Amino acid sequence: MAVALVLVLIVVGSVLFHLLSPWWWTPIASNWVYIDNTIIITFWITGVVFAAVVLFMAYCVFRFRHREGNRAAYEPENKRLESWLTIVTAVGVTALLVPGLFVWSRFVNVPSDATEVEVVGQQWQWSFRLPGKDGKLGTSDTRDVTTDNPLGVIASDPNGQDDVLVEAADLHLPVGKPVKMLLRSIDVLHDFYVPEFRAKMDMIPGSVTYFWFTPTKTGTFQVLCAELCGQGHPLMHGVVVVDTQQDYLAWFGQQQTFAQLSAPQQTGAADNAPGKTMAPAKTIAPGLKIAAKLETVGSR
C-alpha cells in the first residue's frame, strides 16, 4: 500500500515540481526558439511515458501485492503485446528524432549573410577578433602567439592587418544580424556558452570550430566557459553586449586593428590587458605563474 502510494506521489510531485518550481531556463535572446520548442516536445513525450510507467507500476503493486492464497499468472510471452509496444515506442522515438534532426540541420548550416566573429579562448579569458573593412579575417597560428601578438595572427597575411582585436574585453554584436562565431583556442579546450543564446561549442587548440545564431534582444549577457579548462575554469567569465546597429557601429569605431596594435608605439596601451601582465612568465616557477594568473582572473 505505502509503496504504491509513494510511487503515485513521485509522479505527482515531479509534475508539480516541473510546473510550479521557479527554476526554469533564462529568457531566450537568440533565434534558437526552435531548440526550446524541441525541448518542450521532449518534455511532453517523456513526461507522459514516465507518468504512465510509474503509475502502471503503482497499480500493479497495489492490485497484485501478495495476499494469502494468491498465485501469479503464468504467461512467458505475448508476442502481440510485445510487437505493439515496440511499434508505439518506435513512433514516439521518431516523433522526437525528426524535429530534432530538422533543427540540427538549421543549426549546422550557416546562412550566407552571417558575419564572422572570431572568439579566442585561453586560460582563463576571452578575446575576440572581427574582420575589418575587407570583411575577411586573416589567418592565424598558435605558433605565432607572442606577447605582442596574443592571438597569433599571421603578420604576413594582408587580410589580417585590418582585423579588429578585442583582447580580454567585452564583445559587442549588432541585434538582428546573424553571426557565425569562429571558435579557436590557443591552449586547452574551452567552450563558448551564453545561456540566453542556447548555443555552445567547444574550442579546440589547432582547429577552428563554429556555431551561428542571431541575437534577438539588446542587452548584456554573460559568457561562461562550458568545458573544463583547468582550475580557473569557473572564473572564466566574459561579456557579450548586444547593441542596436547604431551603438554597435560607435563601439566598433573605437576598437583598434591588428596593424595599429602591432605598431611599436601602440604596444604600451595594451599592456593593461591581463594576458600581457604574464609576459615575463618564463622566469617564474609554474606554480606561482598559475597563482598569479588566477589572481588576475579573480580580481576582474
Partner 1 sequence: MVDITPADGIPPAEVAEVELYHPHSWWTRYVFSQDAKVIAIQYSATATGIGLVALVLSWLMRLQLGFPGTFDFITPEAYYQFITMHGMIMVIYLLTALFLGGFGNYLIPLMVGARDMVFPYVNMLSYWIYLLAVLVLVSSFFAPGGPTGAGWTLYPPQAIMSGTPGGQDWGIILMLSSLILFIIGFTMGGLNYVVTVLQGRTRGMTMMRLPLTVWGIFTATVMALLAFPALFVACVMMLLDRVLGTSFFMPAISEMGEQLQHNGGSPILFQHLFWFFGHPEVYIVALPAFGIVSDLISTHARKNIFGYRMMVWAIVGIGALSFVVWAHHMYVSGMHPYFGFFFATTTLIIAIPTAIKVYNWVLTLWRGDIHLTIPMLFALAFIVTFVNGGLTGLFLGNVVVDVPLSDTMFVVAHFHMVMGVAPILVVFGAIYHWYPKVTGRMLNEMLGRFHFWVTFLGAYLIFFPMHYLGLMGVPRRYAELTDMTVMTESAHHLNSFISIMAFIVGFAQMVFLFNLIWSIRHGREAGGNPWRATTLEWQTPQTPPAHGNFGKDLPIVYRWAYDYSVPGAKEDFIPQNMPGSFGPSREPA
Q: What is the DSSP letter of 162?
A: T
Radius of gyration in angstroms for the set of CA atoms belonging to the chain, rounded to a whole number: 27
Give 25 or 158: the residue with its C-beta nearer to partner 1: 25
- Minimum separation from the CB atom of position 295 to partner 1 (A): 12
DSSP assigned state of 232: T
Taking residue 48's Cβ as centre, other Cβ atoms within 10 Å add up to 11
Provide, rounded to whole angstroms, the least separation between the CB of residue 99 and partner 1.
9
Q: Which is nearer to partner 1, 99 or 176 (CB)?
A: 99
β-pairing, 200-203 vs 164-166, is: unpaired
- In the complex with partner 1, which residue's Cβ is closer, 172 or 198? 198
CB of 250 to partner 1, least distance (A): 25
Cβ atoms of 217 and 175 within 8 Å: the answer is: yes
Q: Which of 264, 257, 275 is nearest to 160 (CA)?
A: 257
Name the minimum Å distance from CB 156 to partner 1: 18
Measure the N-to-C terminal CA separation of the chain; round to a whole number of Å: 57
Query: Least Å distance between CB 142 and partner 1?
Result: 4
| Grid cell for residue 278 | 604574464
Q: Would you say 95 or 175 has its CB closer to partner 1? A: 95
- Residue 132 or 140 having the CB closest to partner 1: 140
Say how many C-beta atoms besides its own lie within 10 A of residue 199's C-beta.
Answer: 18
